[in-house]
Amino acid sequence: MRKKILVDMDGVLADVYAQFINFEYRDTGIKKDLEQLKGITEAEAFPLHHEHLNSQGFFGTAPLIEGSVEGLRYLNEKYDILIVSSATEFPSSLRDKYDWLQKYFPFITWKQMIFCGKKDSIKGDIMIDDHSKNLDFFEGRRILFTQPQNALLECDSYERVNSWHDIMDLL
C-alpha cells in the first residue's frame, strides 16, 4: 500500500515570503531582505501580515516555490498525496487556493485537497510542512521545509529539507 503524504501549501508549494515582501513593498515602499528574517515569525517580520493574508488575491497570485511542480509530480506518482492547507482563518483564501492549485498543479484532483483550520485531525504517514506547530501534532514522519521563520529551529524530531530537490532525494 502506498504511503500517504500530507503536503502543506504556504511555504512549501507557494512562496508566501516572496508574496509578503511584494505586498509590503507595494503598500509601504519598504523591501525586506530574507536574510534578516531568520528566526522571527511571519507576523513579526511583516507588520501588515494579517491584512495581506485577508486580502483577496494574496494566495491566488503567490509565486511558486522553486522546483515544487516537478517535485510534487514526482511524489504524486509514487505516493498518495493530500494537499493540506490552513485556509479557514482567511476565508477569501479558500477559492484562491483552489484556483491556484488548479493552475499550477492540474494533476492534483479535488479529492486530494483539504482546506482546514487546524491540521491535527488529518491522518497520514509523512507530513511536509514549514510550521513546527503543524508537525508537532503529527504522529508520522515529519519533514520540515526550511523557511526564514523556522531557520534557527533545532529539529531533533524533524528531518529538515531546504528545497524540493532535497525532498526528491529523501523520498
Q: State which of residues 41, 54, 88, 157 lies at the interface with its own copies (CB under 8 A).
A: 88
Tell me: does residue 140 bind its own copies (CB under 8 A): no
Should residue 116 be labelled a site residue for its own copies when binding is judged by CB under 8 A?
A: yes
End-to-end Cα, the chain, rounded Å: 16
Sign for the CA dihedral angle at 8, 131, 51, 28 comes to negative
Number of residues that bind its own copies (CB under 8 A): 26
Window 1-20: contact mask with its own copies (x via CB under 8 A): ---x-x--------------
Figure out which of the listed residues 26, 31, 78, 123 binds its own copies, where binding follows CB under 8 A: 123
Return the SS3 of 105. Answer: coil
Give the span between the Cα atoms of 149 and 128, in whole angstroms. 15
118 lines the binding site for its own copies (CB under 8 A)? yes
Alpha carbons 83 and 65: distance in angstroms, whole number? 15
Q: What is the DSSP string of 23-64?
A: HHHHHHS----GGGGTTS-HHHH-TTHHHHHTSTTTTTTPPB
Phi-psi map region of 67: left, alpha, beta (phi>0 left; psi -120 to 50 alpha) = left
Q: Does 57 bind its own copies (CB under 8 A)?
A: no
Our finding on whether 110 is near its own copies (CB under 8 A) is: yes
Tell me which of 95, 151, 163, 168 binds its own copies, using CB under 8 A: 95
Q: Is 89 in the site for its own copies (CB under 8 A)?
A: yes
Q: Which residues bind its own copies (CB under 8 A)?
A: 4, 6, 82, 87-89, 91-92, 94-95, 98-99, 109-118, 121-124
